[in-house]
Amino acid sequence: MKNNDRIQFATRLGAIAATAGSAVGLGNIWRFPFEAGTHGGGAFMLCYLVCIVVLGLPVLCAEFAMGRATRSNIFGAFRVLAPKSSWWMVGYLGIAASLMILSFYCVVAGWTIEYCAQSAIGALDFPEQSDYHRHFDEFKSGNWRPLIWTWIFLSLNFLVLRKEVTKGIERFSNILMPLLFVLLIVFCVNSLLLPTAKEGLTFLFKPDFSQITPSVLLGALGQAFFSLSIGLGCMMTYASYFRPQTNLVRTATISASLDTLIAILSGVIIFPAVFMFGVSPEAGPTLVFETLPSIFHHLPGGSVWSALFFFLLFLASLTSTISMSEISIAFFIEEKGMSRKSATVLTSAIAFIFGSLCCLSFGCLSNLTVNDLNIFGIFDYVASNIMLPIGGIFIAVFAGWKMPKLFLKKELTNQGAIRGRFYGVLLFALRWVAPIGIGLVLLNSIGLL
């Protein structure tokens, strides 16, 4: 069943660093604050944490087990574990979601390069808060500049992907994640010293239960799946590079905890500043790009901090886009027999076309909207809030009900070498809690409940 020729992450830490590298990215630092801001702060935070622990973590473990056991991409994993069935079609959902996410993600990653460059030349220092808003607005709606950054980001992504997976990914994530973490802590302390710290923290952590609406629940669910990179086979593909000795439950728990911690740190940085500088918490995708420069402006040596931070954010985005691109690349190579080069070119070309559309949806295509969402917003909403949770249901049901008996247990205990203390809880979560929980949130959000 195993294809033992497949390359593996060289070290134990490599597995954690790479999965954390995939999980930690714009989702934590850009998407989490704006989703929390538009969905009532504390209410969202509470739902998000519940979704991570109760729904996300079990699906993450299932993806790990399926990926490592089959040493295969999402299609191969379903095909090996359930031959002659149609389960492999879930793979198409994963590939479509990964390409949609890649398309809008590279636009925001492009914004981070612009802001890094602008900070480095000291062009982001404005006297008034309204200038930060105006500046970002003008930038994102000017067609060419953001487009070129999107393309530059995609080219960098392409260059990294052409190399072998372990070398490229491990080297990147091992050095940079800790540095980003340290920087976040520094900014966190700075925000906690602002006079509006209490207001910001109350907004973020004090749930107003009356605000827990279907849309808040769906937003939190989508954010949890997006942030953990689950529901689309990303973690499955990564786990196919894990070593047989890797403790899957522990790796999943550490990655999910780190990921959540970074999202929380990001919220703690942003919200005190939001109240301090009079930014609307409901600003949406622009929230972080309007708030962070104001924070940096008030720090001694602000431009240096700013340039460094946006640079690290750009690299964190890169470790995430590498992982989401790897889903379709592994598919084209292993299922369609393409060379790595052609698979990488094809994936990048698709992202190039749709990424350009997402980028222009803030400029010349801004009139194309559905329910007030531009193309960028539609891609994000459909992929994150609908496709990932549906993928999560399939993965949970498959791992809980369909996978050969005791298979999950063997994989989670490394064939009996380690204790499987959480196996019972996990199986229950996969069989009942995750499918029913995700199903209810989805039905609820379309008004069927």
By CB under 6 A, residue 101 contacts ligand PFF: yes
The minimum distance between CB 325 and ligand PFF, in angstroms, equals 9
Which stretch of DSSP H or E encloses residue 341? helix 340-360
Nearest to 322 by CA among 347, 357, 355: 347
Transcribe 237-258 into DSSP letters. Answer: HHHTTS-TT--HHHHHHHHHHH
Cβ atoms of 228 and 391 within 8 Å: the answer is no
Which residue in 72, 73, 190, 227 binds ligand PFF (CB under 6 A)? Answer: 227
Name which of 74 and 197 has its Cβ closer to ligand PFF: 74
Taking the CA atoms of 75, 345, 326 and 396 in sequence, report the sign of the dihedral they define: negative
Q: Which range of residues in 43-51, 224-232, 363-371, 395-403 is near ligand PFF by CB under 6 A?
A: 224-232
Which residue, 153 or 275, has its beta carbon nearer to ligand PFF? 153
As a whole number of angstroms, the distance between CA 286 and CA 134 comes to 11
Query: How far is the C-alpha of 11 from the C-alpha of 246, rounded, in Å?
Result: 9
**Among residues 303 and 319, whose Cβ is nearest to ligand PFF?**
319
Task: Report, in Å, the least distance between residue 195 CB and ligand PFF.
Answer: 31
C-beta neighbour count of 407 within 10 angstroms? 16
Count of residues touching ligand PFF (by CB under 6 A): 16
**Min CB(234)–ligand PFF separation in Å:** 3
Q: Residues 28 to 57: which contact ligand PFF by CB under 6 A? A: 28
**For residues 255 and 42, what is the distance between their CA atoms, to the nearest angstrom?**
23
DSSP 373: B
**Residues 36 and 201: beta-carbon distance below 8 Å:** no
Which residues are registered as beta bridge partners of 370? Answer: 373
The one segment of 10-18, 200-208, 300-308, 317-325 that binds ligand PFF by CB under 6 A: 317-325
Q: x/- string (CB under 6 A) for ligand PFF, residues 259-288?
A: ------------------------------
Q: Which residues pair with 373 in a beta bridge?
A: 370
Among 19-27, 205-213, 246-254, 300-308, which window interacts with ligand PFF (CB under 6 A)? 19-27
Stretch that binds ligand PFF, among 24-32, 136-144, 197-205, 356-364 (CB under 6 A): 24-32
CA distance 221 to 310: 27
Q: Does 229 bind ligand PFF (CB under 6 A)?
A: yes
- DSSP annotation of 403 reads S
Closest CA to 197 of 274, 264, 130: 274
C-alpha 416: how far from chain center: 32
27 belongs to the binding site for ligand PFF (CB under 6 A): yes
Nearest residue (CB) to ligand PFF, 28 versus 191: 28
Which amino acid, 35?
E
Ramachandran sector of residue 372 (left: φ over 0; alpha: ψ -120 to 50; beta: rest)? left
Q: For residues 73 and 98, which CB has a smaller minimum distance to ligand PFF in the complex?
A: 98
Contacting residue, 22, 150, 247, 356, with ligand PFF by CB under 6 A: 22
From 18-26, 59-67, 238-246, 407-415, span contacting ligand PFF (CB under 6 A): 18-26
> Among 73, 291, 320, 361, which residue interacts with ligand PFF (rule: CB under 6 A)?
320
As measured in angstroms, the least distance from the Cβ of 428 to ligand PFF is 26
Q: Considering beta carbons, is residue 194 or 256 the nearer one to ligand PFF?
A: 256
Which residues would be at the binding site for ligand PFF (CB under 6 A)? 22-23, 25-28, 98, 101, 226-227, 229, 232, 234, 320, 323-324
